[in-house]
Structure 1
Amino acid sequence: MARELTRDITPLAAGTRLPSHRALVTRFGASASTVSRALALLAQRGLVVSRPGAGTFRAAQEPAASSGDTTWQEAALALNPGLADGNPGARRLHSPGLSNTLATPSPGVIDLNSGYAHHSLLPMTALRAALTRAARSPHAWERPPVGGLADLRMWLAEDIGAGLGREDVLVVGGGQAALSTAMRAVAQPGDPVILEAPTYPGTLAAARAAGLRTVSLPLDAHGMRPDYLDDALGRTGARLVVLQPLYQNPTGVSLTEGRARELLAVARSHDAFVLEDDYARHMTHDDGIPPVKPLILLESDGTVIHIRSLTKVTSPNLRIGALAARGPVLERLRTAHMIDTMVVPAPLQHTALEVLTSSAWKRSVARLQTALAQRRRLAVRTVVETLGADVLPDHPRGGYHLWLHLPRGADESEFVSAALARGTALAPGTYFHADQPDVPRVRLSYAAAPTTADLVTGIHRLEGLV
């Protein structure tokens, strides 16, 4: 695709607008993420420039810089045993699912794909004020402690729950960084890791980049089954299990406290850690059932490594998160974090602390929760009216997404491509699986659309595709 587009683009004048994502999806019969990857290649080569909200344009010609022949790198990378496919500990730096999550939709495309809420739902005013105050602080440009600012760690410890202190918390650069750091700190390349199936693409990406061997376990209505986990840990010798206890991405399933305690008991009996990705703790809905407590509060022997992130409820640019743990593993986490990033920038930490301790914080979270509940109810009603009740047999009363069930035998890639051609961006279910799934699924996010009217229009564009 990139080669063909290069031939088309090269003769164009600088500033010429390229066809939209929708048009390219239709032309090539490809998925939205494949089109995005092709355009990214062209951008790397200096042929095009993307302007969010406006489109993709022919880049201005620049004097050619002399460069040597880099084709040798393909052979060098292929010969490296650490990257070879047959190596059980090979690190795989390839994640179309994560790339799709971060893709910027073309003008005219309604985003029902992104995992981040539209900025109109987030505390933009409070963030701007916090950033201004933080920049004026005499301490903003001093080197912070490796583990993070003491006051920020204390706030995060109290937010996670009673029984934790700031000495149990490490400030990291967001939830994705926490996943990556924890996997590399706890497991070695080639080790097995137990994952939910389906699961968040960022979890898959972090596991593959760490060279871990993924072992996926199916979920029921209450999450991962303890008997399946017991069998998998005994069979594989895995020492790490990754769980999303609340509004699991993408299924929306939440653990009950009883199920959570069973899973923790199984993990403890096998001397395995549970990496708890508690991404949706502040995305409960006003009509939902009381959520299960954070798993780290249900045990005291250090089984759980807890992840808490602020990006979902503040801004994707406020890359602040926390790893909380008890025992010697915390020092391993701290060292891995230090090797990767040294420290989380102090201005960012001070900005987060200003936001979290402001009078606007609780109001902004409550406002987001109310808006998400309203959008969920509207999305559920519109999906059922447009695609039928069979597509949505159940849905979570929390989080930001719905997990659509396409008819057996349907081609989810064709569905997503056809939706994009009509102007609606969705996430194909394949991206949430380590292996090819048996049934077609699609994730629909109701948080990213600019307005509720856009949300309804985006769903209506799917009419007739099922």
Structure 2
Amino acid sequence: MNNDSSSRITAALRQWISSAAPGARLPSTRQLVAEHQASPVTVQKALQSLAAQELIESWPGVGTFVRAVRTARPSDYGWQTAALRSPSSPLPSSSSTMRSVPGDAIWLHSGYPDRELLPERLVRAALARAARGDAALSRPPAAGMPELQQWFARELGQATPVGVTPPTPNDVIVLPGSQSGLSSIFRALVGSGQPMLIESPSYWGAILAAAQTGVRLVPVPTGPDGPDPAEVDRAFAETGARAFYVQPNYANPTGTQWAAERGAEILDVARLHGAFLVEDDWAHDFGITSDPVPLATRDDSGHVVYIRSLTKSVSTAIRIAAVIARGPARERILGQRAAESMYVSGLLQAAALDVVTQPGWQTHLRSLRQQLQSRRDLLATSIGEHVPQAHIDHLPRGGLNLWVRLPDGTDLPRLARDCEDAGVIIAAGTEWFPAEPTGAFIRLNFSGPNPGAYPDGARVIGDALARQEG
């Protein structure tokens, strides 16, 4: 009965409001109780319903009024054009790999592994323990928690051969994810307006970080075994560059793993030119049919500045990475980090350390290797069956991606739109080139959700490509 009465009063008041002027005062609760012969609770319920619909507004101690209709006025930000002027350098737009898409789509674009590939149980337990500990309320040292510094140094040191001095914990700087670390490293080691060599194609985030810091990129072509040392030598000599950004293990986007001899040759070239190799070991935990061997394990003279990230392998919510650098380079990078963020969350550092030191971590990595292999093989087989025009130069031995070459002349923006209209999200390869693309490529991630849909996704790509050719 009360609900019926409340609805009846709400309808009557709505009709009264429709003919009243904005700002008109409603009768008091006492008047409404007498007029509608209802209880005060019923009247209040009707008023609350009208307030939720934004038809009335109440002012305590003053009364209840018909809400004025506020028309949205377009904001004028024209003044900012004069204040900002032209950007110092054009910045690439955010990567398509960062897009959020409908849950029912087939995700082949993302740069992150699906939740089912993460150590969820370990992460949740680690965060709970970290929240109960001192890390939840204390400020860690600027270079990172000593225990986490020690773990990163030990990880690299265990792979360092006899005769090469392993890194120490003091060589380690903990980062809030590797992306911000790249910006700090580029500023510290290269500087605005100065050249830096980079493989082509290469990680879009490094291209973005270089643009943000004003670093001038010099592309060096790379192949299935890595870049040609003679090309690297010539690029250093011609440009005077003092740094080369590289991904020797499971490069993003190609999946390339440098041959051991190739890595040694390029390290010799860097030594010859007195230059740094900025080694991004982003996929260290994603070996499939091989194990990563960082270049940094062969260098103890400070030529290799090594970055290792845990963000993708532990959890995207725990953005923790580290840079290992020796000598004055380490101090310059730490100075840049202090200017950008005084320290990295102790809570996240403690949680990351907890996860990677649990016995279950190694068990998880062994299982992850098997899962990535089955996903990679399924996607590669599906592309071979449904996209016969495509060419996969090599099957990556690690990482998360397939680098797929399409016929010359393929309209990549149109292909991406047509695939998305059919519920398949792909990433056009253009954003991984620091200069003009050398062909029509797409990067397909095999660590996204619902791998059972890979054959359907490949079929959509093949159909969209066939329509272009037809």
Same topology, TM > 0.5:
yes
* CA deviation map 1:104-149 (0-9, x unaligned): 0124221100111000111111111100000000343111000000
SS at match of 1:394: coil
Q: Which residue of 2 aligns with 1:381?
A: 381
Report if the CA contact (8 A) 1:243-1:275 is conserved.
yes
Q: Which residue of 2 aligns with 1:363?
A: 363
Structure 2's unaligned 5+ residue stretches are 1-68, 159-165, 466-470
* CA deviation map 1:264-307 (0-9, x unaligned): 1111111111100001111001xx2444x211111111000000
Q: Give yes or no for the alignment of 1:214 onto 2:217.
A: yes
Aligned length: 390
Q: Which residue of 2 aligns with 1:104?
A: 100
Q: Which residue of 2 aligns with 1:195?
A: 198
Residue 390 of structure 1, CA deviation: 4.5
* CA deviation map 1:428-459 (0-9, x unaligned): 011111223131000000101x2221233222
Residue 69 of structure 1, CA deviation: 4.3
Report if the CA contact (8 A) 2:257-2:397 is conserved.
no
For residues 66 and 455 of structure 1, the distance between their equivalents in structure 2, rounded to whole angstroms, comes to 47
SS at match of 2:255: coil
For residues 383 and 435 of structure 1, the distance between their equivalents in structure 2, rounded to whole angstroms, comes to 27
Residue 66 of structure 1, CA deviation: 9.0
Q: Which residue of 2 aligns with 1:309?
A: 309
* CA deviation map 1:19-78 (0-9, x unaligned): xxxxxxxxxxxxxxxxxxxxxxxxxxxxxxxxxxxxxxxxxxx96899974312112222
Report if the CA contact (8 A) 2:250-2:399 is conserved.
yes
Q: Give yes or no for the alignment of 1:326 onto 2:326.
A: yes
For residues 66 and 408 of structure 1, the distance between their equivalents in structure 2, rounded to whole angstroms, comes to 48
Q: Which residue of 2 aligns with 1:125?
A: 121
Query: Counting helix residues as a fraction of each chain, which structure ranks higher?
Result: 2
Aligned CA distance change for structure 1 residues 139 and 402 (closer, same or farther; 3 Å): closer
Larger Rg: 2
SS at match of 1:383: helix
For residues 290 and 351 of structure 2, the distance between their equivalents in structure 1, rounded to whole angstroms, comes to 33
Q: Which residue of 2 aligns with 1:231?
A: 234
Residue 321 of structure 1, CA deviation: 0.1
Q: Which residue of 2 aligns with 1:74?
A: 81
Q: Give yes or no for the alignment of 1:141 onto 2:137.
A: yes
* CA deviation map 1:386-443 (0-9, x unaligned): 1127422422121111011101121122222211111111110111112231310000
Residue 91 of structure 1, CA deviation: 4.2
Structural mapping, 1:1-150, within 5 Å? 69-78=76-85, 83=87, 90-92=88-90, 94-96=91-93, 98-150=94-146
Aligned CA distance change for structure 1 residues 199 and 111 (closer, same or farther; 3 Å): same
TM-score (norm 1): 0.80
Q: Which residue of 1 aligns with 2:455?
A: 456
Report if the CA contact (8 A) 2:196-2:241 is conserved.
yes
Q: Give yes or no for the alignment of 1:268 onto 2:264.
A: no
Read off the aligned partner of 2:334 and give its amino acid letter: R
Q: Which residue of 2 aligns with 1:257?
A: 260
For residues 385 and 267 of structure 1, the distance between their equivalents in structure 2, rounded to whole angstroms, comes to 43
Decide which of 133, 149, 153 is 2:149's aligned counterpart.
Answer: 153
Read off the aligned partner of 2:425 and give its amino acid letter: A
SS at match of 1:260: helix
For residues 308 and 369 of structure 2, the distance between their equivalents in structure 1, rounded to whole angstroms, comes to 17
For residues 300 and 244 of structure 1, the distance between their equivalents in structure 2, rounded to whole angstroms, comes to 19
Report if the CA contact (8 A) 1:184-1:210 is conserved.
yes
For residues 455 and 121 of structure 1, the distance between their equivalents in structure 2, rounded to whole angstroms, comes to 16
Identity over aligned residues, as a percent? 35
Read off the aligned partner of 1:459 and give its amino acid letter: A
SS at match of 2:319: coil
Greater shift after overlay, 451-460 or 362-371?
Answer: 451-460
Read off the aligned partner of 1:104 and give its amino acid letter: S
SS at match of 1:142: coil
Structure 1's unaligned 5+ residue stretches are 1-61, 84-89
TM-score (norm 2): 0.80
